[in-house]
Chain A
Amino acid sequence: MIGTNIFQDQKVRLCADDPETLAQAFSRWERNDELWLMLDSDPVVMWSAKKIKEWNEKGEIENPPKEAFFTIHALPEDKLIGFVSLNSILWNQGDCWVAIGLGERDYWGKGYGTEAMNLTLQYAFSELNLRRVTLGVFEYNQRAVHSYEKAGFRLEGRMRGMLQRQGRRYDLLFMGILQDEWKQLQSQAPA
């Protein structure tokens, strides 16, 4: 629908926040190492808000954008709870990666992430007109795997032993969703 606000749903809205606000939030969230371990394969590091702000400011608005980055605000309180981004957009192939993280622990497992992911997929398929969206998720992040399956992603393989953490090896799972699959899900979903 051309008239609807594609950045908002019941529980969340997708926004853009100042580098300052974002940096403060990220720096706070990073102190929860569990979040980092779910999200990133880089060794856990706690960066200062100042450093994060520098990085955020360096990222210019490119044309065409290589990335569509959003912050997630919970409604109705309008609180910044996380981020979601479509990145590494390979325009000629119509493929991109999605990454999502909810920094505020209190908002885990309540459907905020699912809604944010749905809005993001809608953006990818209806505004950017991409053909597919890819994601990587760590084997031990089962909550995320289930959430992505619910959103329509299909398992496409696993890279064996890509991660070594706390004395064990874990696989990196790949999941993907095609524009056609997503469209079908939309037509089946209750209004």
Chain B
Amino acid sequence: MEQDLFRGELVRLVAEDTDSMVKAFSHWSRNSEFTRLAGSQPAIPHSARATRKWIEENAEPIKVDNYAFSIRTLADDRLLGDIGLDGVHWSHRESFVGIGIGDSEAWGKGYGTDAMRIILRYAFEELNLRRVSLNVFEYNPRAIRSYEKAGFKHEGRMRGYLNREGRRWDVIFMGILQEEWRNHDDHIAT
């Protein structure tokens, strides 16, 4: 009846064991390029202990409005990062998606795009959402291109929202609707 819901062509989505998440995430937090691409909070490295505390409080409890997964390669089972639908607005059937590939060796190789394909299928065919939103920083063209490839459309920008390295940058908003996803060439249906 179906291909594996949690698998793509290059990666698969998993519920990661806490110890390996702690190791990986606190390591990646030491790369400021990664943290500045991923978040608007001031970049700061995190200790393993702080990371563990955060994971135990936020990632471990099973929540109905949050579906987060770790990303592992199919070829060699390497942990690359995480992806998730955070803050599902159920009555509107909408959610934001966020992805972070912490392993910088893995950038630009299609892993992120593949993970995004899997999560969109999950959003539209298992959660039965009607739209998925995201925001991305103006200075992250690699991600913007990847999202465009996955079918996201530009919907606007918050001008000068970010202040980094002495200048202002926009935060770009993108979105994809269920019908658009169904018609999109690149999608993998069940």
The reply to whether A and B meet directly (CB within 8 Å) is yes
- Residues in A lying within 8 Å of B, measured CB to CB: 63-64, 66, 89, 91-94, 127-129
Contacts A64-B65, A91-B64 given: A128-B128 contact, CB under 8 Å? no
**Judging by beta carbons under 8 Å apart, are A64 and B90 in contact?**
yes
**Judging by beta carbons under 8 Å apart, are B128 and A92 in contact?**
yes
| Chain B contacts with A in 88-126, Cβ cutoff 8 A | 88-93, 126
Contacts A63-B65, A64-B64, A91-B64 given: A127-B91 contact, CB under 8 Å? yes
20 chain-A/chain-B pairs, Cβ below 8 angstroms? A63-B65, A64-B64, A64-B65, A64-B88, A64-B89, A66-B64, A89-B90, A91-B64, A91-B88, A91-B90, A92-B126, A92-B127, A92-B128, A94-B128, A127-B91, A128-B90, A128-B91, A129-B91, A129-B92, A129-B93
Contacts of B89 in A (CB 8 A): 64
Q: Within the assembled complex, what's the spacing in Å between the Cα atoms of A93 and B128?
A: 7
- Chain B interface residue count, CB cutoff 8 Å, equals 11
**Judging by beta carbons under 8 Å apart, are B128 and A64 in contact?**
no
Q: How far is the CB of B58 from chain A (nearest CB, A)?
A: 14
Q: How far is the CB of A82 from chain B (nearest CB, A)?
A: 25
Contacts of A93 in B (CB 8 A): 128
| Chain B contacts with A in 61-87, Cβ cutoff 8 A | 64-65
Q: How far is the CB of A139 from chain B (nearest CB, A)?
A: 34
**Judging by beta carbons under 8 Å apart, are B126 and A64 in contact?**
no
Q: How far is the CB of A60 from chain B (nearest CB, A)?
A: 14
Contacts of A92 in B (CB 8 A): 126-128
Residue of A nearest to B67 (CB): A92
Contacts of B128 in A (CB 8 A): 92-94
Residue of A nearest to B126 (CB): A92
Q: Within the assembled complex, what's the spacing in Å between the Cα atoms of A102 and B64?
A: 31
Contacts of B91 in A (CB 8 A): 64, 127-129
If A64-B65, A64-B89, A89-B90 are given as contacts, then 17 extra A-B residue pairs at C-beta distance below 8 Å, sorted by A number, are A63-B65, A64-B64, A64-B88, A64-B90, A64-B91, A66-B64, A91-B64, A91-B88, A91-B90, A92-B126, A92-B128, A93-B128, A127-B91, A128-B90, A129-B91, A129-B92, A129-B93
Q: Within the assembled complex, what's the spacing in Å between the Cα atoms of A66 and B64?
A: 9
Residue of B nearest to A130 (CB): B91
Q: Within the assembled complex, what's the spacing in Å between the Cα atoms of A94 and B93?
A: 10
Q: How far is the CB of B10 from chain A (nearest CB, A)?
A: 27
Contacts of A128 in B (CB 8 A): 90-91
Contacts of B65 in A (CB 8 A): 63-64
Q: How far is the CB of B135 from chain A (nearest CB, A)?
A: 21
Contacts of B64 in A (CB 8 A): 64, 66, 91
Contacts of A63 in B (CB 8 A): 65
Contacts of B93 in A (CB 8 A): 129
Contacts of B90 in A (CB 8 A): 64, 89, 91, 128
Q: How far is the CB of A41 from chain B (nearest CB, A)?
A: 26
Q: Within the assembled complex, what's the spacing in Å between the Cα atoms of A153 and B126?
A: 27
Contacts of B127 in A (CB 8 A): 92
Q: How far is the CB of B68 from chain A (nearest CB, A)?
A: 16
Q: Within the assembled complex, what's the spacing in Å between the Cα atoms of A125 and B97?
A: 26
Contacts of A127 in B (CB 8 A): 91
Contacts of A94 in B (CB 8 A): 128
Q: Within the assembled complex, what's the spacing in Å between the Cα atoms of A128 and B90?
A: 8
Q: How far is the CB of B65 from chain A (nearest CB, A)?
A: 5
